[in-house]
Amino acid sequence: MDPPSAEAVLQSIFTLYNNPNKQEKETASKWLEEFQKSIHSWEIADQLLQRKHDLNSCTFAAQTMRNKIQNSFHELPESAHDSLRQSLLEHISHITLETKPVIVTQLSLALADLALLMSSWRKPVVTLLERFSGNPNMMYAVIELLTLIPEEINSRYLRLGANRRKDVLTELETDSSLVGDYLLMCLMNCNDNELLQMKILKCFTSWVNINAFNLSQIGDNMIIAYSFQLLTNLNTKPEIHDAATDCLCGLLQCLEMNNNGDGLDVKLFNGILSLEEAYNASVAQEDLDKSMNLCRLFTVLVESNLARMVAGSEAATPHYSIKALELVLICVGHYDFEVAEITFNMWYRLSEDLYQRNNEALTAHFKPYVERLIAALYKHCQMEADHEGLIEEGDSFKDFRFKVSEIIKDVIFIVSSISCFKQMFLILQSPNVTWESSEAALFIMENVARNILPAESEVVPKVVEAILNLPSNCHIAIRYTSINILGELCDWIDSNPETLEPILNFLLCALQQKNGLATAAANALQSICSACKKHMLGHISGLMEIARCLDGFEIQTESAIGLLKGISIIIGRLPPEQLTTAMQELCGFQVRALSQLTSGEDDGLGLKKDRHDPVFWVDRLASIYRHVNPTVSENEVNPCVFVIISNWAVLSRAMECYKNDPKIMERIVRCIRYAIRCVGKQAMPILESLVKQIITIYSGHNHSCLLYLGSILVDEFACEPSCIEGLLSMLQAFIEPTFQVLQVENGLKNHPDMVDDFFRLVARFIQRSPFQLLQSPLVTPIIQCGLLACTLDHRDANLSVMRFFCSLLSYGRHDRANELRSIVHGILMQHGESLIMNLLYASVFCLHSYMLSDVADVFVEIKHLSPHQLEGYVQKAVDALPKKNSGGSITVTNEQMIEFVDNIVKSETPRAVTQALQEFARLFR
- 3-class SS letters over 50-69: HHCCCHHHHHHHHHHHHHHH
> Using a CB cutoff of 8 Å and minimum separation of 24, what contacts does 839-845 make?
839/790, 839/877, 840/874, 840/877, 840/878, 840/881, 841/790, 841/791, 841/877, 841/880, 841/881, 842/790, 842/791, 843/917, 843/920, 843/921, 844/881, 844/920, 844/921, 844/924, 844/925, 845/791, 845/924
Per-residue pLDDT at 142:
95
Alpha helices (H) along 429-556? 435-448, 460-468, 476-488, 490-495, 500-511, 517-531, 533-536, 540-548
Q: Which of 117, 123, 3, 108 is nearest to 65 (CA)?
A: 108
For the chain, count helices (H), then strands (E).
47, 0
pTM of the model as a whole: 0.90
- C-alpha pair distances (Å), 854 with each of 114, 310, 588, 804, 908: 35, 35, 44, 11, 15
Cα dihedral 360, 366, 369, 373, rounded to 10, equals: -70
Cα–Cα distance for residue pair 401/399, rounded to 1 Å: 5
Residue 260 near residue 215 (C-beta atoms within 8 A): yes
Taking the domains of the chain in order of start, what are their residue ranges?
Answer: 218-415, 448-567
**What 3-state DSSP class applies to 886?**
coil
**CA distances (Å), 306 to each of 208, 365, 475, 786, in order?**
20, 14, 42, 46
At position 794, the amino acid (one-letter code) is H
Buried b / exposed e over 126-151, threshold 16 CB at 10 Å, is: eebbeebbeeeebbbbbbbbbbbbbb
Give the span between the Cα atoms of 752 and 755, in whole angstroms.
5
Residues in the chain predicted with pLDDT less than 50, given as ranges, are none
What is residue 97's predicted lDDT score, i.e. its pLDDT? 77
What's the CA gap between 624 and 802, in Å, rounded?
Answer: 34
Tell me the C-alpha distance between 662 and 668, whole Å.
10
The pLDDT assigned to 814 comes to: 78
Q: What are phi and psi of 168, to 5 degrees?
A: -65, -45
CATH code: domain 218-415 is 1.25.10
402, burial (CB in 10 Å: exposed 0-12, middle 13-18, buried 19+): exposed
Query: What span, in angstroms and rounded, lies between the C-alpha atoms of 441 and 427?
Result: 7
In angstroms, the CA 814 to CA 651 distance is 46
Q: At what angle do helices 194-209 and 162-188 cross, to 10 degrees?
A: 150
Q: Tell me if residue 890 falls in helix, strand or coil.
A: strand
**What was the pLDDT predicted at 536?**
96
Instruction: Give the H/E segment covering residue 199.
Output: helix 194-209
Residue-level pLDDT at 260: 64
